[in-house]
Amino acid sequence: MSIDRFFQSLAEDRRERCIGVILSGTGTDGTQGLRAIKDLGGMTIAQSPDSAEYDGMARSAISMSAVDFVVPIKDMPRILNEYARRPDRSAISVDSDEQGGGTDYLNKIIAHLRARSRYDLRCYKK
């Protein structure tokens, strides 16, 4: 898909300064591209499936563990702004039901390690 190629190219060029966002849509478009963004240290966000008119793209990306944040659109600007303001692109907290509500220190540590070392430990057991 062309969006996957775009996201992959963007990830290769901008690495941890890259942000990928998936909104309402059908199919698997964007999933592989978001995976590339995450693998190269960028941040990825998907609209929560229950708030999307078409949830296929978000569900696909979520099922492939290609998404850092799953939130309603109304929460995206705050997350994007907070991430963009951090010079080291370290973890940010999200107060959302999809994220377990409140600050998750383990996710912050894992994101910090990923940003500093490029090792992605998010798939390891807690």
**CB-based burial label for 2 (10 Å; 0-12, 13-18, 19+):** exposed
pTM: 0.68
What does the mean pLDDT of the chain come to?
Answer: 80
pLDDT value of residue 83:
82
Q: Which two tokens stand for residue 16?
A: 């941890």
Strands lying side by side in the sheet with 69-71: 19-22, 43-47, 69-71
Mean pLDDT across 12-16? 87
